[in-house]
């Protein structure tokens, strides 16, 4: 049973109070909600409503991550490789927990990219589209 400070206990707020709370969400809370909504936008298209199959995952990568996964989003084999790496239970589908591992890796890589060039602990780095100074990612 989850403790009083676990993420599962926090979900109690998402019941009847959710709509009231949505109007008062911070930017970070709103961003987390966007991640959940985006996952469900794709997961509900086919099959199981709370997992992504290959087609749904490919659609998410190509549409929602075209800049963060610039090279990979053009190559179906690369997308399949990412899916296989994330699919920890090897069921050919991605749960929300498996997909957020990709998002966590992208967030970390983006943060590190922002600090390239000798920038220190949050100072003087770009907060643009997530690809470091000038929004330029690596070439494909």
Report domain extents, the chain: 31-135
Query: What is the percentage of the chain residues whose pLDDT exceeds 90?
Result: 54
132: buried, middle or exposed (CB in 10 Å: 19+, 13-18, 0-12)?
buried
pLDDT digits (tens, 9 = 90+) for 66-82: 998 888 878 999 999 99
Task: Record the pTM.
Answer: 0.70
Tokens 């780095």 identify what position?
A: 125
Inter-residue contact 133 to 126 (CB < 8 Å): yes
Superfamily of chain region 31-135? EF-hand (1.10.238.10)
């Amino acid at each position: 049973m989850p403790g009083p400070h676990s993420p599962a206990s926090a979900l109690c707020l998402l019941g009847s109070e959710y709509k009231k709370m949505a109007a008062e969400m911070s930017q970070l809370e709103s961003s987390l909600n966007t991640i959940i909504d985006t996952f469900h936008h794709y997961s509900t298209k086919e099959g199981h409503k709370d997992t992504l199959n290959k087609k749904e995952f490919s659609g998410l990568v190509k549409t929602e991550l075209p800049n963060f996964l610039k090279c990979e989003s053009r190559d179906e084999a690369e997308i399949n490789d990412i899916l296989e790496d994330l699919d920890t239970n090897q069921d050919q589908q991605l749960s929300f927990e498996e997909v957020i591992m990709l998002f966590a890796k992208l967030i970390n890589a983006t943060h590190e990219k922002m600090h390239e060039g000798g920038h220190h602990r949050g100072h003087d780095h770009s907060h643009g589209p997530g690809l470091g100074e000038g929004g330029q990612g690596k070439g494909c």
